Chains A and B, each alone.
Chain A
Amino acid sequence: MPTPDEIKSRIEGALPGARAEVEDWTGGGDHFRATVIAEQFKGLNRIEQHRLVYDVFGGEIGGPIHALSLNTQVP
């Protein structure tokens, strides 16, 4: 079961320079909420920004990570 810290470091590892804050939304280890601030989002619409983060986790979203609620921002 992933922890908020693991999710944070995977996002920050995949998007160099990004800052992510991740919390376990329900305390159950499968609903997470993340705010991600990344230069990589520049010029992308929201869908594309969220896809960039979802792509870090591939098939885990909807599987072990039931939900990853996102707020994406450009610095």
Chain B
Amino acid sequence: MSGRSLFEKVWHDHIVVPEGPANPAVLYIDLHLIHEVTTPQAFTLLKENGLPVRRPDLTLATMDHSTPTVPIRTLKDIDIVSAPAQAAQIRSMVENCEAFGIELHGFGSEQRGIVHVIGPEIGATQPGKTIVCGDSHSSTHGAFGALAFGIGSTEVAHVLATQCLLQRQPKTMAINIDGTLPDGVTAKDIILAIIGQIGVDGGTGHVIEFRGSTIAGLSMEQRMTICNMTIEAGARAGMMAPDDTTVEFIAGRPQAPSGAAWDAAVERWLNLPSDPDAHFDKEVHLDISRLAPMVTFGTNPGMVVPITENIPADTGSLSFRKALDYMGLEAGQPMLGTPVDIVFIGSCTNSRLPDLRAVAAMLEGRKVSDSVRMLVVPGSEKIKQQAEAEGLHEIFVAAGAEWREAGCSMCLGMNGDVVPPGKLCVSTSNRNFEGRQGVGARTVLASPETAAASAISGCIADPREHS
């Protein structure tokens, strides 16, 4: 019998009722992250059935998707700043959390931020946990060796009411990544290259474990960027083995265990990595030693090329043509030099302190092109404070960029921060779907470094020529 993978260890540790032909497994959830957009209908379901929230203490609530990125002092300001629908949704979150006894990291809380940024930041995200959220980028938390995945609002209600989910055991896929990252190339480029290689449905039905020497050498922030976009390859979740880097990141955070509990936790965590003879249903290999910065050219994250290469020749497929037509680009044309209107630095993919430092290093002493509007949106209140303590915001503002309040912002344009129709945005976010950043908006996904270089140049630019 072969050994067990990281995924299998976490999965089996959380089985309340094993799966059988007539029923999926009842899987226990250790941490439930909730936000204002996908919970109202779930709370309604609880109210309709007269049910309480089973474990408010395992429920972490914040507001991020429809929140404005201009300063809000108190909840009252929301009615002046936001459109009525967004304001109502935010108020409903506050009321529901109060009614069900859930602590809300809302306006005024130093722990508010993008849900996938604050979980790790406050130490709630830990190896071996099962973590879910009504948001597909829950895969982010897999960077810590947690099993984390996105769910719909009905399932949010299931977890609120029972702290459990009904799940069939997914298959496993190992993606082995080796090689040293070349200068100017980032974790974002690795995950874009992987999605380009396996396709936007390459991971469907699978939990991916990212392994290999490259992963072991990455920081937690870089690992989160990779796991964050696992969903863009269609996978159920992405995971990475916890190691010393993971342990060091968690140590001392507000919700990290302490004393004897810390020692016990660390021992447990470091036993989680896959056994050497663990079996995977699929295996993929990638050598990144010659990887270039990657940029998307189409309308899903799998339509991606190295920045120095041209858009592929016309494949004749309807979706390929429709994508290029939407983007206003031609088959065979270079991406370098394509005029840029907006640059967005932010989202649960790339809004953490090292991302902001990389952008600041690129912008220091330089100016954002006159033809470009640039937004820098930190992932959390805490990151905003840290960036300001380092003076990064002064560099952004001096270069001509806008420095905003924390939130999801222009990643999905729910809060009023939108890319106008037909405008092209180089974005550090995770989705270049049609209309994702606003009706008719054109999105090119890239690393923070590529986005910053493009902001300076006014067109898509290679960060390796701007460092």
Are A and B physically bound partners? Answer: no
